[in-house]
Amino acid sequence: MNNPFILGVIPPGAPFCDRVKEVEELTSYAESKANVVLYSPRRYGKTSLIKRVQSLLEGKGFITIYIDLFGVASIDDVAKRTAKGIYTVTQQNEPLSKKAIRAFRAFRPVLKPTESGNGLSISVEIASGQLSGIDLLDATMDDLGQYIRKSEARLHIVFDEFQEITELNNQQIEGTMRSHIQEHGISYFFVGSRRRLLIDMFSQSNRPFFQSSILYRLDRLPREDLVNFIMDCFRSRGKNCSLEVAESISSTVHQHPYYSQKLSFYEFEMTGKKASIDDVAKAYERVIEEERFFFEATLQGITLKQISLLAAIANSPNLPVFSSAFLSQYRLAQGMIQKALPKLSRLDLIEKNEENTWRIVDPLFEDWLKRT
């Protein structure tokens, strides 16, 4: 039986929990040519949400471009991914493809058969070996502007994981991109999960993108909507999930979008005709075991002292980290904590709660830290 819970990016036509207000607002912003910074912790469903918004925009005649900057390695790579994002969409329409080829002078498309032989994959190569770095990015953004001006259709462009450009340690990147984007007259969405880095780009007065976009936070799923969604998905496949079981799934993962899908997925797999509370616990252990590899990889980029601090925060989330009780219980030095907090915050591993104390952002990561 086909499992209704999807792991990964949820296609626009698949069942989608809540986000009705977000879809309506973001679609309206795009139609109004407003720029938006969409931010949330990792795996909150930002990409699924954006894909849904862009699908609606396409139905209204927009050309939608999606550019993923995750793991971008250089300024040349930023330019290359931007050009590829345009060519990937326009190659499906001959008139649009011709306009893109005429507009983009910095890159040219390269089409190759897919491994299956049933289609073509697209890549790009630099049209002239003369340009690189900031000059290449500047030319690419200028070409993009030329294409936008020549295109008769409305465009919407998404830069996913946009904060990754700050890792390239070149202050000219933001200025170059902003100088072109402000002239394009279309809506850009800047999406990211390393919230501190992303928000700083748009809220610090000395940065090029300062006050250029709407800051839009994506929160956890509403409890009631999530519970009803879980029950409806089970019902759609002829299985019964009681209110008690659905609420248990919701509360176990604290309404976290990705973990809600994953825990529900395994609960569905374990269920015959009727879901049970006991299976929720078993499914949760399955999720924790699978996520262990992701959590271990997360710790590889930080020091042992920083790991100790994370574990201490996970075990005592209500204790202020500089309190004598916290320092003595975990034998941590105040100086070390002062140095570690900014880095852990930049990595989006910790955040301050309503009580102004630090907590672990990811609820399952927190649980795993308590167990290790």
Task: Give yes or no for residue 335 having a pLDDT over 80.
Answer: yes
Q: How confident is the model at residue 90 (pLDDT cuts 50, 70, 90)?
A: confident
pTM given for the model: 0.92
For residues 211 and 191, state if they share a domain.
yes
Give first-to-last CA distance, the chain, whole Å: 36
Tokens encoding 47: 């990409």
The C-alpha angle 219, 223, 229, rounded to 5 degrees, equals: 105
Tokens representing 52? 């849904």
| Phi-psi sector, 356: left (phi>0), alpha (psi -120 to 50), beta | left
| Selection from 186, 197, 193 nearest residue 217 by Cα | 193
Evaluate whether residue 318 is within a structural domain. Answer: yes
Question: What's residue 268's pLDDT?
Answer: 97
Instruction: Take residue 210 and report the two structure tokens written for it.
Output: 């300062």
Residues 6+ apart with CB under 8 A from 111: 91, 120, 121, 122
- 41 and 174 assigned to the same domain: yes
Domain count, the chain: 3
Which single residue is written with the structure tokens 């955040």?
A: 351
Inform me whether the pLDDT recorded for 98 exceeds 80. no
CA distance 370 to 296: 14
The whole-number pLDDT of residue 117 equals 65
pLDDT surpassing 90 at residue 355? no
Region 148-172: what's the mean pLDDT? 92
Query: pLDDT band at 50, cuts 50/70/90?
Result: very high
Instruction: Check whether residue 163 and residue 66 sit in a common domain.
Output: yes
Q: What's the gap between Cα 162 and its chain centre?
A: 10
pLDDT confidence bin for 163, thresholds 50/70/90:
very high
Residues 319 and 255 in one domain: no
Which residue, 198, 217, 236, sits at the end of a domain? 217
CATH number of residue 240's parent domain: 1.10.8.60
- Residue 341 maps to which CATH number? 1.10.10.10
- Residues 197, 145 share a domain: yes
| Cβ neighbour number for residue 41 with a 10 Å cutoff | 21
Whether 290 is covered by a domain: the verdict is yes
Tell me whether residue 142 is in a domain: yes
Q: In this structure, is residue 26 part of a structural domain?
A: yes
The pLDDT of residue 116 is 67
- Gap between the Cα atoms of 307 and 89, Å rounded: 43
pLDDT over 90 at 106, yes or no: no
Q: Within the chain, how many helices (H) and strands (E) appear?
A: 15, 9
Helix (H, G, I), strand (E, B) or coil at 237: coil
- State pLDDT tens for residues 183-217: 999 999 999 999 999 999 999 999 999 999 999 99
Q: 301-323 pLDDT, tens per residue?
A: 899 999 999 999 999 999 999 99
Q: What is the pLDDT of residue 105?
A: 81
Confidence (pLDDT) at 350:
97
Q: Among residues 55, 53, 124, 57, which one has the least CA distance to residue 91?
A: 124
Domain limit, last residue, from 255, 272, 295: 295
Which of 217, 239, 267 is the last residue in one of the domains? 217
Domain of residue 265, residue span: 223-295
The verdict on 193 and 106 lying in the same domain is yes
